[in-house]
Amino acid sequence: MHDPLLAYVRTLASTPLTESEIDVIKQVFVPKKLRKKQYFLQEGDVCQFMGFVVSGAMRQYTVDSKGVEHVFQLSIENWWAGDLESYTMLTPSRYYIDAWEDTTLLTVSKADKYELAALPALGEAMSRLDQRHAFALQHRVNAALSLSAEERYAELARTYPAFLQRFPQHVIASYLGITKETLSRVRNLPAKK
Amino acid sequence: MHDPLLAYVRTLASTPLTESEIDVIKQVFVPKKLRKKQYFLQEGDVCQFMGFVVSGAMRQYTVDSKGVEHVFQLSIENWWAGDLESYTMLTPSRYYIDAWEDTTLLTVSKADKYELAALPALGEAMSRLDQRHAFALQHRVNAALSLSAEERYAELARTYPAFLQRFPQHVIASYLGITKETLSRVRNLPAKK
DNA sequence: CGCGGGTTTGATGATGCTCAAGCCCGGTGG
DNA sequence: CCACCGGGCTTGAGCATCATCAAACCCGCG
């Protein structure tokens, strides 16, 4: 059950995990199953848990005043799900998070996460994780501000091709900040060149 | 010289700073002055220092294949300057960073930053800093993907009004991902309502 | 067979970009 | 002192990109 998470943590840590560290991880990460379409978080709630995706696929999005969904984050195996800001600041979230497929998560509360951070190897792993997260966001800001729809799609296809297999186009389109019609055209035009 | 930085760190830490912590900070943060237009970092270089802005204003931007500048980050007093990804991964940066006004920085190397992180109060402060940074990026991704030019400008004016005083409109426009002409129109239209 | 979810295609329109011109204003040098 | 220049801001006309709305299609499934 916890194996994918342990493997993941090992890629982040600079030292091998000790037995006791492995025990703590198994203890604080509690499994949770979500059915397709089931909510993990709803707007207005405080995000009490971060979830490591063991299997399945999830979607994090806002709903604007016109009722349109704006996908902010997609998560598949070996990614995280949760609203980090709500989780760390204990503020109500602006996001919905739900399962796009039946999904298995390993969830950890904020208090337990502090316990983890106290262990040297895991504290280091977590700060690396936060860094990676920040870098990914940095790239997305860049892409969103300075690339066209076609370029953004090409970049996604290059960087995270797995997403394209797992989510339908209208979800991908929203993630890219464009409409499904535009995505459809952008995908088909290059084929005709 | 270091007072603004110490005050800033105190807002991040949960415990008062000890004498020895203050000493370490004064030791590892070395002052640097930049003249207007002077580079702090150039594309292709590895970012060796992060800089805390004591006075002045700085600009971080990429230059695309057509020679157009895309402003990614603006920094004034009590903000940081530097390419965090290049700094932590030791990879060549895609950014230029230069001084928009004459600027005084307190710079810290990566090695010295690790020394700081080892002290409990400062390690905590730094991880909070990283978190804040991530939250700000998260908001920007949202804004870039789901708001119009007018809405993005309004949000900036609300969130960081100080920027509007310190940078000319064409710089603000680039930061928002729009052209200076569009920004000019967006600013003047609401006035006529 | 019909239905729901997803994708495609077309017509139209809004938003924002490009290119070009003109204005304002604060230097700087004759 | 004034003429000029550069940087910044504005305005306008035309255009590209992308959104919207609507219709049709496709296909897996009850």
Average pLDDT, chain B: 93
Q: What is the pLDDT of residues B51-60, one digit of tens each?
A: 999 999 999 9
Which residues sit close to strand C, CB under 7 Å?
A 168-170, 180-181, 183-185, 187-188; B 148-150, 177-179, 181-182, 186
Q: Number of A to B CB contacts under 8 A, please give it.
A: 72
For residue A149, what is the nearest residue in chain B, using CA coordinates? B145
DSSP secondary structure letter of residue B92: B
Instruction: Tell me how close the Cα of B144 comes to any Cα of chain A, in angstroms.
Output: 6
Tokens 């996460």 found at: A113
Q: Residue B192: is its pLDDT beyond 60? A: no
What's the CA A181/C1' C11 distance, rounded, in angstroms? Answer: 14
Per-residue confidence band for A118, with pLDDT thresholds at 50, 70 and 90: confident
| B19 Cβ contact list (under 8 Å, min separation 6) | none
Q: Quick one: B125 exposed, middle or buried, by C-beta within 10 A (0-12, 13-18, 19+)?
A: buried
Nearest CA to A9 out of A113, A104, A84 is that of A113
Distance CA(A178)–CA(A165), nearest Å, equals: 18
Angle at B61 between CA B55 and CA B65, to 5 degrees: 160
Proximity of residue B148 CB to strand D below 7 A? no
Question: Is residue B189 predicted with pLDDT exceeding 80?
Answer: no
The answer on pLDDT for A192 being more than 60 is no
Quick check: B137 and A135 CB within 8 A? no
pLDDT of residue B9 exceeding 80, the answer is yes
d(CA B24, CA B28): 6
Instruction: Note the pLDDT tens digit of each residue in B95-132.
Output: 999 999 999 999 999 999 988 888 888 888 988 899 99
Strand partners, A30: A107
Question: What is the architecture of the domain spanning A3-119?
Answer: Sandwich (2.60)
Cβ pair A70:B145 closer than 8 A: yes
pLDDT recorded at residue A191: 55
Indicate the residue type of A163.
F
> Percent helix, strand and coil across chain A, each rounded to 5?
50, 20, 25
Residues of B with Cβ-Cβ distance to A137 under 8 angstroms: 134, 137-138, 141
In percent, how much of chain B has pLDDT > 70?
98
Residue A121 φ/ψ, nearest 5 degrees: -60, -35
Residue-wise pLDDT tens digits, A13-44? 888 989 999 999 999 999 999 999 999 999 99
Chain B residue nearest residue A148, CA to CA: B177
Contact yes or no for A142 and B177 at CB 8 A: no
Would the Cβ of A177 be found within 7 angstroms of any atom in strand D?
yes
In contact, B72 and B60? CB cutoff 8 Å: yes
Distance in Å, residue B73 CA to nucleotide C21 C1': 32
Chain B residues 66-125 within an 8 A CB cutoff of chain A? 70, 72, 84-85, 88-89
Instruction: Give B175→chain A minimum CA distance, Å.
Output: 8
Contact A134 B138 (CB under 8 A): no
Q: Which residues in chain A have Cβ-Cβ distances shorter than 8 Å to B145?
A: 70, 72, 144, 176-177
Share of chain B above pLDDT 90, in %: 78
Using a CB-CB distance cutoff of 8 angstroms, which residues of chain B are in contact with residue A62? 142, 146
Q: Are A40 and A100 in contact (CB under 8 A)?
A: no
Cβ of B72 and A140 within 8 Å?
no
Interface test with B, best of A141, A151, A171, A174 (most B CBs within 10 A): A141
Token code pair at residue A3: 């194996």
Measured in degrees and rounded to the nearest 5, phi and psi for residue B85 equal -70, -50
Q: What is the pTM assigned to this prediction?
A: 0.92
Which of the four pLDDT bands, split at 50, 70 and 90, describes residue A190?
A: low
Tell me, yes or no, if B141 comes closer than 8 A to chain A by beta carbon. yes
Residue B169: CB less than 7 A from any atom in strand D: yes
The spacing between the Cα labelled CA in B188 and the C1' in D13, in angstroms, equals 19
SS3 (DSSP) at B54 = strand
Sheet holding B39-41, edge to edge: B39-41, B96-99, B58-63, B69-75
The residues pairing with B75 across neighbouring beta strands, listed in sequence order, are: B58
User: Rounded to an integer, what distance in angstroms lies between the CA atom of residue B141 and that of residue A143?
Assistant: 9
